[in-house]
Amino acid sequence: MTPALILTMHLICAAPDQAADPAVDQAFETLTTKYIKEFPELSPTGATILGDHRFDNRLDEVTDAARQKSAALARRYLAELAKIAPAKLTRAHQVDYQMLDQSLRAELWRYEKLRDWAWNPLIYTELTGNSIYGLLAREFAPLTTRLGHVADRLEQFPQLLQQVRATLDVKRVPPIHAETAVKQNRGVLSILENMVEPHLGTLPDAERTRMQKAIATAREAIEAHQKWLETELLPHAAGDFRIGRQLFDEKLAFTLFTPMTREQIRDRALSELERGRAEMYQTAQEVYKKKHPYTTFPAKPAKEYQQAIIRAALEIAANDQPPADAIVEKAKETLVVATNFIRSKDLMTLPDDPLDIIIMPEFQRGVSIAYCESPGPLDVGQKTYYAISPLPTDWSATQVNSFLREYNIRSLHDLTIHEAMPGHFVQLAMSNRYPSTLRAVLSSGVFVEGWAVYAERVMVEAGYLDNDPLMKLVNLKWYLRSISNALMDQAIHVDGMNREEAMRLMIEDTFQEEREAALKWVRAQLTSTQLSTYFVGMQEHLDLRREAQAAWGKDFQLKKYHDQVVSFGSPPVQFVRALMLDKPIPGTTK
């Protein structure tokens, strides 16, 4: 789908902007253009990831003055927004107005109330890693130019890490965050070894000498920081990883930007857990009878009986494992299968952007098993990476087996659907084509993650892997995982759920293997509210499709629907609903 086609679809499908005032609309465009030009300078590393390469030779400042500057910028643009009446904007700009307002208020809240910059060292391990990785992962400029900026940034590492140590309040850092930072800090060194040093021979003598000195400087700074992490931070870290009810509810509202409350999310998740388990039992019977065709199932089975039948069926899938050293290769095979299936069923238009499946960089490991890293909205057309974390080398044979049972062959198919085809890769590639750069910059994680979970369901409903009931069973298990994510997210940070309770929910109620559950427990401590995005986004996407089917009637067609949903960028689903179905734009009342 070309940008022109996307824009045409918007013009055809959108309600007339009869109330729009051209002067007000132009004022908003001028404001957002200025914002997009101004805010990236506050985080040069973030600017690189975004695709703005004006500041590639600089590193972020981690000081109180820098934070005050960021807060001042947010206040200034909020004040400018307040002068604009959103009801006088076009509908597309009304959406962008709401998204910018929400984003600016969220930034201020983070600086002033959450204050995670003072207690979360993982912000800075990600910063150092991305500052180099972002320059090398994509060919947005000649290699020599990018390597020159790598040297620029490496030379600034001692100052950056000194600022980090001065910023972190050791006693407020949760132990789990300190432990993870200790593991991640040296990850940037693997980037230097794998992505910089192999190219030293291509540099002229003077540049090569400078790079070698810059690497030595950065290595020394990283090792000094590692020593501080191990001897000062880790022994004295005493913060609570639980952020508590008030901060959680406030952060949840900013993260989700949805009408659903925490209580509504919990109640719907509990209802879906019961419904999903019942569907798993029905599917498991089909699997079980293939192996035991004369089985008669009781009319009113006890919960324990259903549990046993589901587990027996899942055992078949769990034993169909990829080789421990060939997960990436197997994932590549699933990508071909998924791509061909989408085309054969004509489920949606696919982009022709480049996509690579890679081993996850070391500095990004420890939070999730896989992710999709799309190019920034200002680097449209650059390569997307579907990254998978390798198995830790210190795992026992039992732990490795547990992991491979969870990420069996069918689970790898589901993972590829979620991360790539037609999940994140497809959706984000289309999002970056949307005419509003601002909307791409401010994309909704709920829309993005919800779409990926929805995509899993769509593929299974369409008969993926020849209507294999085991594939459906595994997909239902993954759906239950999204449910447990949402339940745990609030239960841990608000209600004080402990590890044993969380493990029971994941292993017994939603059938996850021990390694997956153990890693998710760590992730739930390291993050808050993000784990809710999968379930909430899925519910909103399902609700939207049901409403579109009712509105379009006999004219509803799945490919048309999917292409239109992803054509609006990645705003919160409530805004996609308004744009698609000619409803009022939420929040536009003045």
How does pLDDT run across 106-145, given as a tens digit for each residue? 999 999 999 999 999 999 999 999 999 999 988 999 999 9
Using the predicted structure, report yes or no on whether residue 6 has a pLDDT greater than 70. Answer: no
As a whole number of Å, the end-to-end CA separation of the chain is 35
pLDDT per position as a tens digit, 443-473: 999 999 999 999 999 999 999 999 999 999 9
Residue 2 has pLDDT above 50, yes or no: no
Q: Of the given ranges (367-376, 472-481, 530-539, 577-586), which has the lowest mean pLDDT?
A: 367-376
pLDDT at residue number 213: 98
CB-based burial of residue 154 (10 Å sphere; 0-12 exposed, 13-18 middle, 19+ buried)? buried
What letter would DSSP give residue 529? S
Q: Across the strands, what pairs with 266?
A: none
pLDDT, tens digit, for every residue of 539-561?
Answer: 999 999 999 999 999 999 999 99
Residues 6+ apart with CB under 8 A from 478: 411, 414, 418, 453, 456
Asked whether the predicted pLDDT for residue 484 surpasses 60, the reply is yes
Give, for 358, the enclosing helix (H) or strand (E): strand 355-359
Q: Which amino acid is at 394?
A: D
CA gap 532, 528 in Å, rounded: 8
Residues 94-110: tens digit of each pLDDT: 999 999 999 999 999 99
Rg (CA), the chain: 24
352 pLDDT above the threshold of 80:
yes
Are the C-beta atoms of 416 and 338 separated by less than 8 Å?
yes
pLDDT at 367: 57
Report the amino acid identity of residue 159: Q
Q: pLDDT at residue 586 above 50?
A: yes
33-39 mean pLDDT: 97
- Reduced to 3 states (helix: H, G, I; strand: E, B; else coil), residue 214 is helix
Query: Tell me, what's the pLDDT at 395?
Result: 87
- pLDDT band, residue 498 (cuts 50/70/90): very high
pTM for the structure as a whole: 0.93
Is residue 419 scored above 90 in pLDDT?
yes
Tell me the average pLDDT across 403-409.
93
Give yes or no for residue 92 having a pLDDT over 80.
Answer: yes
Read off the amino acid at residue 376. Answer: G
Model confidence at 366, in pLDDT bands (50, 70, 90)?
low
**17 has pLDDT over 80:** no
Compute the C-alpha angle 166/172/175, nearest 5°: 105
Find the helix or strand (DSSP H, E) in which 277 lies. helix 262-291
* Residue 94 to residue 105: CA distance in whole angstroms: 17
Segment among 247-251, 359-363, 420-424, 549-553 with least mean pLDDT: 359-363
Distance of CA 307 to the CA centre of its chain: 31
Asked if pLDDT for residue 3 goes beyond 50, the answer is no
Cα 567 from chain centroid?
19
| Tokens matching residue 321 | 């494992």
| DSSP assignment of 432-464 | TTSS-HHHHHT--HHHHHHHHHHHHHHHHHTTH
pLDDT attached to residue 196: 95
Mean pLDDT of 279-304: 96
User: Which residues lie below 8 Å from residue 481, measured CB to CB, with a gap of 6+?
Assistant: 506, 510, 512, 516
User: How is the chain split among helix, strand and coil, in percent rounded to 5?
Assistant: 70, 0, 25
Q: What is the mean pLDDT of residues 314-330?
A: 93
DSSP 8-state symbol, 140: S
Given a cut of 50, is residue 14 above it in pLDDT? no
pLDDT of 15 > 50? The answer is no
Q: List, in order, residues 6 or more apart from 226 with CB less than 8 Å away.
A: 182, 185, 186
